Structure 1
Amino acid sequence: MLVALDALITERSVTRAAERIGVSQPSMSNTLSRLRRLTRDALLVRTTRGMELTPRAQELAEPLRRALLALDEVFAEPGPFDPTGASGRVTVAAADFVGMMLLPLVMRAVGSAAPRLQIDLRLPDPARVSQWLADGECDLAIGFLPSLSPELRISTLFTEPLVCLVSAKHATIREEISLEDYLEARHLVFGSPFSAASTLETAIDASLASTGMRRVKGMQVASIVVGPYIVAQTELVATLPRRLATHYAGFLPLSVLPAPIPLKEVAISMTWHDRTHRLGLHDWFRGMLREAAAELSPGPQPPSPSTT
């Protein structure tokens, strides 16, 4: 009705006002009647010079145009996001190894393109991260998070094969690890009830259980970052993402070996709530994550098991 009133005030004619907004003349006449009842004013009156605005209609003209312009701004499509002037913060829940592999690339890009933007990193709690996203405690979660709420949006960044990590000085495991070695070894596992790494270990155990096998767990650590240092100095075996394994094998006495059982690749995904889906800043930041994930090199392949 506000648009119709603006057309009537501008055109000073029911017929022309109807044409202006694309309705029939009887429809516009009915709208004018309703407007007269609402304002308790005739708004348009017939004179010897044609239809003229009443003093009340003249008073309404300018405030009405300002109100319509304000509404146009509210409902207008947002323009392209410009990160150079962006400020504030984006809170990300990400597992240790995701932060190690992906976030340095992201932060180099963010530091250059959006120098006033702050990124806050926190460790995810699988049992609570869906609620964090819904409540705004964090804006984005990244990692192996297969059991999140179905109403969240999710996008896979990259997939990662699982490999075995053993000490280069291991007493019995050398160039390959057999299924017998794997099942007899004591395993270092990652995670705790409050750690995203625990969901990875659960998936590995499920793969083993589907074929009637299980691991012997010798030690559990809360952080996936600590484990390789312990493996390097013990007879423990760890199963973890290949990029992380090869990273640590580059400076610790460790061997990266193919797993002796088929394990599904880990899908590293980002997930977010609808409340941030259309916000320019968050859409741009998710784009930065996709670009960084595309830049990740696949890393060296572990040697294939011997066929002799």
Structure 2
Amino acid sequence: MPRLRVHIRALSKPRPRQRAAKPGLFLAGILVASPVTAHADDLSVLFDRDTVFSVGGFTGLGPRFQGSREAGLWGLPYLSFRKADEPRDWWSPDDGLDATLLGGGPVQVGAVLDFREGRSRTDDHRLAGLPRLPATVGLGLFGEVWPIPDTLRLRAEVTQGVRARDGIVAKLGADLVGRFGRFTLSAGPRFVVGDAAAMHLDFDVPVAAALVNPSLAPYRASAGARSAGATATVSYDWSEAWQGLGYVRYDRLIVSAANSPIVRRIGTVNELTVAIGAIYSFRMTP
């Protein structure tokens, strides 16, 4: 039978650190429930007395916007459930929220939702003159294959922003997964591509903005590769109930994205995201 897993994750754009106050975790954003590798018949698992529920969350630091030099806090609540006789699924914290429509086991294809960071002058005063970008989401398709079961995963996500001008972003990745006693380690490369609309949104400097902010020269980004990087995750099963996780991802902006004055004059081509989290699993009946 296909496994059923539902995630509820609230993703938030990193917020600026206050210069004279302690930073706080900002968790306003998007709350999504998404069934994964599920069919209608499997919803009965919700009413099974032995269903295993997992709840937890992550907190970490990441770029405030694409190309930002400064980091801000982000938060990620987590909820999933599975059948009592099913082991924990492996997943990467940077996966989009997905629902499998075709396939199962080592090959899956389905719908996916990803979160796209916004940008405003409150993130960095040097962004003055640039258009404000509200945080949004992208909707599209994902494909995932395990050429070596439980060891090597290949995954691709292609999404279109909910507004036409948000553009299309494709995310490609591979993960090598190893289990060593109570530890599970994973690592792999990441590659991101954007169409012209997506690249314009994040990296263009309009002429009007350059007139307001002379430190930024007019710039027109082009479609193509946006970033290349890698990610690594380590988890430890403290017990059948408790699992701790650590996550790090490095991205380097490349080609047209790296040449944007937003990146060269305000930010950096190097982006680092780190997070830690914990998940608690339990059954509704003792």
TM above 0.5, one fold? Answer: no
Question: What TM-score, normalized by structure 1, do the two folds share?
Answer: 0.22
Question: What TM-score, normalized by structure 2, do the two folds share?
Answer: 0.23
Quick one: higher RCO (CA 8 Å, sep 6+), 1 or 2?
A: 1
**Structure number with larger C-alpha Rg:** 1
- Higher share in helix: 1
